[in-house]
Structure 1
Amino acid sequence: MAAGAFDFREFLRTLVPLPGVYRMLDTAGKVLYVGKAKNLRRRVGSYFRAHHVSEKTNHLVAQIAGIEVTVTHTEAEALLLEHSLIKEFRPPYNILLRDDKSYPWIYLSAGTFPRLSLHRGARKAPGRYFGPYPSAGAVRDTLHLMQKVFKLRQCEDSFFANRSRPCLQFQIRRCSAPCTGEIDAKAYAADVADTVRFLEGRSNEVVDDLVARMERAAEVLRFEEAAVIRDRIAQIRRVQERQYISGERGDLDVVAVAAEGGAACVQVFFFRGGRSLGNKPFFPLIPADESPERVLAAFLVQYYLAHEPPAEILLSHAPRDTTLIAEALRARAGRRVDFVLRPRGDRARWLEMARRNAAHALAAELSSRTGMRRRFEALQEALGLDAVPERLECFDISHTGGEATVASCVVFDGEGPRKSDYRRYNIEGIVPGDDYAAMQQALTRRYTRLRDQDEVLPDILFIDGGKGQLAQAEGVMRELQISDVLLVGIAKGPDRKPGLEVLYLSGTGRATTLPPESAALHLVQQIRDEAHRFAITGHRQRRAKARRTSVLEEIEGIGAKRRSALLRQFGGLQQLARAGVEDIARVDGVGVELARRIYDALHGDG
């Protein structure tokens, strides 16, 4: 079998029967495929035996112009090198995990009054890191719980250092206000210690200590203190009911794969310290006709060599080289890592749940694989984000000469518009036409509610406007102490032509212009246009209603019932204005005197 100009027979004679890694190259020197082998001569030679080669392998072999090899001491060493080279070259015939650059952690800073916050990136600052979590949403949920139960500060250090009185978080009992001395260092340190134990999965120890403290306080008649501790115990119990999995107290991942139609989904459920941290789907790029077993093997290597593996991993399929992969992960973690293929009891049900989630996520992906997800991934790349955003929100303002101002908020996720989450805000109490004040009011109303009710925040908040409107959003978020939402202003470009929009990213001071063909720009345009449409629709409805009713509302003696009866009888304000006094007086509850006042008001004679 010929493979272009590549003389594979001569090449195979030079190969040694030792462990190593091979790289298949095309005529331009591009890496087509990276593989590992226990025996390089036997493994590479298998590609050129035509009687058992798949169609995918035929396509690969037909493009080979050269092969490079690296001999290693062991097969495990070859596996590690293979992972490194796949990550570097991203060959088209390998299974590629499109992994986020970094996962979010909970960070507890050092110092007398540590701060608890979401963290991405290098973990170099002094303090403790807990995680990683599958998503920023999972971190926010946990931080909200921490605020309610342990009341550690989550504000920026600069905000903390310059307070002269407690902020709103103290007033709503979500911070103990160490900034103004409302709690001393010793008591705060006790709360920090409880937080650490809780995040380590040792909440039963925390509860036991709190129960002892409550009983001691009650014994010496400090009943108010005992009541506070009692409430904290109740909150922790509620958290345990939400997060704990019966019979589990260790670290465990449940990994299931579904593959179909040239696509695959790997669904991972994360448990740490017996607590469920949520789940996350992964959609690796795969060549055609890859088996679930091969997809799973590639995922285990690429994901867990980049992220610390748990002690146990439940698997939906039995990949080849399980023992070898476990050995590599053991070297990575510095401890034993076990794969479980046929779990029983509750674990079997979790694995089945992961399988179903993988199948459902894959079906959704296949239905829109060239659509919204690709746009979200393009947006991640265009804005240089660490992770693919999961939720986007966009605000716009609409009015006519300052009349009936309405702000709109639209929400997109990986499946497109989430119309059930859309909101409109009627703007009141501002100077007519002041778009900055309108934006400030709308943002304050929305994000105060989202924060206070522990609802999900967006990863990116788009503002239809340039630097001025972006500054309003920055001020609102700073006041509300919301720091983990990226703010982006969308300004119209030269001549206000579509495709020339300029994006201003908060905190960077830089403007970004995306090429007209960019999928990321198309997503930005889509969410901006949807916000604009939703705002205009709301404004027109509000303006029409105001114009129907405002004149009648100013007439003494006409309440809501009479106003409704008049408009219903004549079919609207315009038709009512055409009526005479006698016609108006025939409406139930409207006499001649009132009819005259209505007629005069409608004709400017009042």
Structure 2
Amino acid sequence: MVDLIEKKKELRAKAMKLPLLPGVYLMHNKKDEIIYVGKAKVLKNRVSQYFGSDKNHEEKVRRMIENVDYFEYIVTDSEFEALVLENSLIKQNQPKYNILLKDDKGYSYIRVSGGDWPRISEVKQVANDGAQYIGPYMSSWSIKETIDSARKIFRLPNCNRRFPEDFGKGRPCLYYYIKQCSAPCRGKMHRDEYQEAFQEAMDFIKGGSSGSIKALTEKMEQAAENLDFELAARLRDRIRAIDKVKERQKVVASKEKEQDVIAMAQGPRHTAFEVFRFTNHRLSDRESFVTEGCEDNAESRSEFIRQYYAMRDEIPSLLLMDGEVADEELVIRWLAEKRGKAVKIHVPQRGEQLQLVEMCRNNAAESLARQLGNSGREASALDELKRLLGLASVPEYIESYDISNLAGGENVAGMVVFENGRPLKSAYRKFKIKTVEGQDDYGSMREVIRRRFEEYRIHKDENEGFGRLPDLILLDGGKGHVAAIRPLLEQMGIDVPVFGMVKDDKHRTRAIAVTGGEIAIHSTRTAFTLVSKIQDEVHRFAIGYHRQQRKKSTISSTLLSIEGVGEARAKALMKHFRTVSAVQQAELIELELAPGMNKPSARKVYEYFHGKTEE
């Protein structure tokens, strides 16, 4: 630790001697490997920031700094030249701590197997296996979508069963019952009928939906004229299925002829980027990338754009983004020079374009969820909550508090914890209010928060339980609760964002409270669902503890009213018999044998419930 501190001091001293000029800096480790490449408008200011206080550094940046042995720099004539050089050096050296995108983009093919019962599938390579291959295609996503649509429309099987060998071997799968497969496995479908459906599927793949509808409509009309109503009905169903696919495609249609939509979602230690590519107003391709680290959003978007389009030859005239892009003018200039035409970056605030961005962001959250192993809705909710509250990072660890009492009596509080959007019940805690008399929710909340963070000071080296600092505190209450708690945290030196959860007159979550007012949450947002879940859970937990205390109080008053029974004996009786009812029903001999009891006290208890008895 001492060596690391000394090393940072040494590197900072060298950084303070750098020129006040634009340029590129390269961080090296002890193995002389380049582990990070960055650009700067002013080299001295940017590089020296790394080796000062690490309070505002992300975890990934802190890890990078710990591994820096020395740095070098290259002065450039302008910040734009620095950006171009930075891109080149990142591509050349693939530094560990830069955003690195794995370019798995390659050609895709449609494979058509041979035989009397052919199948279609998407593959990356052509094999010498006697099958027919159609392609190549650049977008594997669009090919998969097309094949999937063709299978569903024309009800072709998507399983490993072989025909006719597997006829009648087992029941049809779920796809048959939801009318997405004709189930040749039943053995009741003629080969000619299957081949007809298969050929129509191939026409759909090659000619598109419009051509298929025209051809199928002609066949349907001809079948109706020939009074073959069964065939006409089957063709009608296929036409309707194609129409449904077209309607679904319209949902993600773009008013711009060509544009890319880029959005990001952040988890505790990873960032996911999603790209929707539109050609001729239609979604033509999708790509997902998950990278390590959660750096500043604007910086991350800027670096992603440059890395992504360094791998792609096609750059559209418009990029829709989900937020601010650092060095936007420089990035636009770089894109325009690479494209040979003007490029615009736009952050939509309303309308259809905003809907496309939100859809893209939700898909980024789904990709992130697959990486983290939790549901896409939870990842999306946490990312949305971060943006809604203006947090520096995703609130991986959330603590929530609620006060419960009855006219100031049995004053208690409950604390619940949500980790990665899910309840962490092992970290739940109960508080019995000790210093506040009567109904004073603000005073009670201050006591609870003070006690919780006094425990943090004692156990912070353990980094679990009370020793772990939350990323966010949510109080069940309005701006008054927030105003009561924030000064206390500042006084204690605790830097954790605090917000309230406000309910409407029907006891449903409607807003998040801040010191100066409220932030409304729309009920359709994923963040709304998460906040509502947290508020309901902390209320349930606090109310449950309050009822438990009231019950104990009632029990204690019953047993303590018996002559010869003090707190210790009452507690021992309840531990042994579990309930007052069981104490009441116990025989005298059972009471005498109970822990902590003697014959006189046992008789007093027995007579309290059953009346006087003779010796």
* TM-score for both structures, normalised by structure 1: 0.42
Ranked by relative contact order (alpha carbons within 8 Å, sequence separation 6 or more), the top structure is 1
Larger radius of gyration: 2
